[in-house]
Amino acid sequence: MKSVIVIGHKNPDTDSICSAICYAALKRKLTGENYVPCRAGEVNNETQYVLDKFGVDAPELIESLEPRIIDVQFRHVEGVPPQISLKRTWEHMRDNNIQSLPVITKRKKIKGIITLGDVARNYLEDQDPRALSKASTPYANIAATLWGEIIVGNAEAKFSKGKIVVASYHPSVLEDTIAEGDLVILGSNTELQKQAIESGASCIVICVGSKVTPAIRKRAEETGCIVIVSPMDLYACSKLITHAMPISHIMRKDGIISFNIDELVADVKATVSKLRIRYFPVLDNNDSYLGMMSQRNLLNIERQPVILVDHNEKGQAVDGITAADVIEVIDHHRIDSVETVNPIYFRAQPLGCTATIITMMYRERGVEIEPTIAGLLCSAILSDTLMFRSPTCTPADESAARELAQIAGIDVKEHAMAMFNAGSKLGKKTPDEIFHIDCKSFSAASASIIVSQVTSVSEKELEKVKKKLLPYMEKQLPNSGVDMLFVMLTNIIDRSTELLFVGQNAMAVVRSAFSCDPKKDSVFLPGVVSRKKQVIAPLIAAIDEL
């Protein structure tokens, strides 16, 4: 079974990260199966402080759930070396029920491709008596193919000159038939054997397991003639000997199409659909051979099971979410557009934080909350409710946070202020980094928007951020893919927000949403700190009325 990914939204905040970690831990305890917390973006300063405080590593970064070749169940069939014989190649294909093999080096780099069709074509069409020498066939290949043994000569030597001669006639005729360097297949007739050696044969193959006389052995050693003894008869030897040819001679070397394990399946499908090739090599990131993939493998991909926490909108989800199998959603936001393959467990409650829901689930299932888990859950609640200042905060949120703080051994106020101070260190960040610290996209009937929120305990820092962000927003809007951009500059201490905006109709939307008279690019909203409850809902309603 694949590991189940537990993941929050893009540009994750503390609730998104901590909820993923804690819910994955709960699922592991309840099921004994592998649930892996992941994140869909970089960890912000506040969240990093929390993770460091409780000694927890940041979850694995997942940039896309689009299936890649590594997710395909390709076959891990071993490749073959260039010097292997056609006979052994055929046996490898037969034993593994595969029709295409890569020819690889000792370092697993691909030199060529050999197919069952190549083997059959060579057997049926090649009638060249010099084919083995043209291929520089090792004598060891010849002996192995004929189930024979080299009893005279160097097994590492190669047959690289001459033709194949089947000696089935009188020695006087044989003398005119054999040229220097030829390979001669013959029987037990010592006269024929002697004549072949004297005529300059580079190798003689003696069939039917006939014994080699001392005189023949001596003469072969003197002339450098290789002697192979095979148990097969003359017909079988002459029929099978061409199967000793190394596959490097007939393998396809050019135009080899292979795929890396990190390539997207969608891209690979688009490529192979135009080809009349059934099997393709799969390579790792070092271009080393891993296995063979068929076009059919691309059709039978197991979807990645995913649990979404702290969001359910497709626009906020990790890229490629539509290619995954969403099996659960745990959230405290409005219900939107994530589609699922099957019925799922969906838990959405109108609370201030997803971590509060997960705390309830620990209690409901009777699972003890360890101090580290308690610290993460408490931190998420304090972050999302701005230490109980947000209008989204409910008594259940505050009660859970205070209970979790006791388990974790932390002071609520001290810990919250330390978190907020860590998150307020924005001076060295670029406008792009600041904008994407906590950034979410939303869709209305007639327009799409992005609303980013920057929180701080310092009014001076927010003023500096404003000067950076307004020019950035104007420049970014044409390439953002949405109609309007908004940034909430939220002062946690004063419980207020200055809302920055750019885009056609943005001022009219703000005027309608908040019944105010905004400036050219901003409006001050006292008492507004919650994006979900105090900003998104009125903005969407105002857009729909335009």
* Sign of the Cα pseudo-torsion (101, 102, 103, 107, in order): negative
* Run of H or E residues at 488: strand 484-491
* Alpha helix (H) residue ranges in 126-178: 131-134, 139-145, 171-177
26-30, 293-297, 509-513: segment of lowest average pLDDT? 293-297
For 344-378, how does the pLDDT look when each residue is reduced to its tens digit (9 = 90+)? 999 999 999 999 999 999 999 999 999 999 999 99
Do residues 354 and 332 make contact, with C-beta atoms less than 8 angstroms apart? yes
The domains of the chain are located at: 4-67+303-423, 86-249, 431-545
**How does residue 270 score in pLDDT terms, banded at 50, 70 and 90?**
confident
Distance CA 65, CA 39 (A): 12
Binning pLDDT at 50, 70 and 90, where does residue 273 land? confident
- Mention every residue, 6+ apart, whose C-beta is less than 8 A from residue 169: 177
Please state, in angstroms and rounded to a whole number, the distance separating the CA atoms of residues 264 and 320: 11
Quote the tokens at residue 102: 């890569």
Cα separation of 28 and 17, whole Å? 17
CATH 3.40.1390.20 fits 86-249, yes or no: yes
- Give the residue-averaged pLDDT of 261-266: 89
Residue-level pLDDT at 360: 98
Most confident residue range from 80-89, 205-214, 405-414, 458-467: 405-414
**Mean of per-residue pLDDT scores for the chain:** 91
CA gap 47, 379 in Å, rounded: 9
User: Hey, what are 290's tokens?
Assistant: 């891993």
Whether residue 150 is predicted with pLDDT greater than 90 in this model: the reply is yes
Nearest to 420 by CA among 479, 370, 461: 461
Are the C-beta atoms of residues 394 and 359 closer than 8 Å to each other?
Answer: no
> Under a CB-based contact definition with an 8 Å cutoff, are residues 282 and 292 in contact?
yes
Distance of CA 273 to the CA centre of its chain: 21
> Beta 279-283 vs 259-260: how paired, if at all?
parallel
Neighbours of 421 (CB within 10 A): 16
pLDDT bucket at 540, cuts 50 / 70 / 90: very high
Residue type, 319: D
pLDDT at 125: 73
User: How far apart, in whole angstroms, are the C-alpha atoms of residue 113 and residue 126?
Assistant: 19
pLDDT at residue number 123: 75
Q: Are 499 and 535 a contacting pair, CB within 8 Å? A: yes
Residues 369, 404: contact at Cβ < 8 Å? Answer: yes
- Give the per-residue pLDDT at 138: 94
- Confirm if 153 and 139 have CB atoms less than 8 A apart: yes
Calculate the alpha carbon distances from 347 to 205, 328, 331, 361, 531 in Å. Answer: 79, 8, 6, 10, 21
337 pLDDT band, cuts 50/70/90, is low
> Residue 539: phi, psi to the nearest 5?
-65, -45
Burial (CB < 10 A; 0-12, 13-18, 19+), residue 4, is buried
**pLDDT for the residue 29:** 97
Task: Give yes or no for residue 172 having a pLDDT over 90.
Answer: no
Q: What is the pLDDT of residues 450-485, one digit of tens each?
A: 999 998 888 888 999 999 999 999 999 999 999 999
Instruction: Give every CB contact of residue 315 below 8 A, 6+ residues apart in sequence.
Output: 336, 337, 440, 441, 442, 443, 448
Q: Homologous superfamily of 4-67+303-423 in CATH?
A: inorganic pyrophosphatase (n-terminal core) (3.90.1640.10)
Question: What per-residue confidence (pLDDT) applies to 171?
Answer: 62
What average pLDDT does this structure show over 276-298? 88
- State the pairing for strand pair 522-526/496-502: antiparallel
Give the contacts of 181 (CB within 8 A, at least 6 positions apart): 133, 161, 162, 200, 201, 202
pLDDT in tens, 385-438: 999 999 999 999 999 999 999 999 999 999 999 999 888 788 778 999 999 988
Model confidence at 173, pLDDT cuts 50, 70, 90, reads low
- Residue 526, C-beta contacts closer than 8 angstroms, at least 6 positions apart: 495, 496
**Partners of 453 in beta bridges:** 488
Q: What is the pLDDT of residue 1?
A: 52
pTM greater than the 0.75 cutoff: no
The residues with which 60 forms a beta bridge, in sequence order, are 38
**What pLDDT is attached to residue 352?**
95
pLDDT at 452: 95
Q: What is the pLDDT of residue 169?
A: 63
pLDDT at position 395, please? 97
The CATH number given to 431-545 is 3.10.310.20
> Left (φ > 0), alpha (ψ -120 to 50) or beta: where does 11 sit?
left
Give the Cα separation of 92 and 247 in Å (integer). Answer: 13
Contact criterion met (CB below 8 Å) for 449 and 486: yes
Residue 209's pLDDT is: 86
Confidence grade of residue 545 (pLDDT, cut at 50, 70, 90): confident
The three-state secondary structure class of 428 is: coil
